[in-house]
Amino acid sequence: MQTAATLFSTRGYWLTITAASLAMLVIALYYQYALGEEPCQVCIQARLWVSALLLVSVTFMTLPQNRHLKFSGNLLALACAAGLGERAWFLYQLENGKGDGSCEFQLGMPDWFAIDQWFPSLFEVRNLCSFTPEMLFGLSMAEGLLLIAGLLTVAIGCALICNLMTAKSRSTNASQ
């Protein structure tokens, strides 16, 4: 347990999440610009969650390492991973004709957060939702996103648990 707590307390942990977020964005842009797979509304919303995770990880990688900041950072990162998972699940449902939702040709953000107009090369909706492209091992992009979101959620959840257990053991040791 101590080894895991140490691992999740390092800047390397945040660097790993940063690298994973950057890799996801680079892959999405590769599929868009090199392979011509235009993104739909849900794909862009997933990119927003990945971008938020990137911002969280870079921010907390540079901040001082204290338990309150680690806990806050992990909560924010968990929210981003859960948001990504929800969007991936929604896209998977649409792709397989199981969901009752739909997709629009606009991002659907409020006017004060017109990120699709500020950064159209990254966040502009250019297609309606349909089948996502095939990726490695025969997984669709929606399935790949589900897998990655699940792995991120488990890893960040473990980090939160380690953070809580370390704080509890410190308070127990301090009271003795």
18 CB-near residues (< 8 Å, 6+ apart): 54, 57, 58, 61
Predicted local confidence at residue 5, as pLDDT: 52
The structure tokens listed for 19 are 């690298």
Domain ranges, ordered by start, for the chain: 2-108+117-175
CATH topology of domain 2-108+117-175: Bromodomain-like (1.20.1550)
pLDDT 10s digits, 26-77: 999 999 999 999 998 999 999 999 999 999 999 999 987 777 888 899 999 9
> Which pLDDT value is given to residue 169?
61
| pLDDT on residue 123 | 92
Rounded distance between C-alpha atoms, residue 67 and residue 42, angstroms: 34
Question: pLDDT under 50 in the chain at which residues?
Answer: 1-2
C-alpha 30/C-alpha 134 separation (Å) is 13
Specify the pLDDT at position 147.
95
Task: Determine the pLDDT at residue 1.
Answer: 45
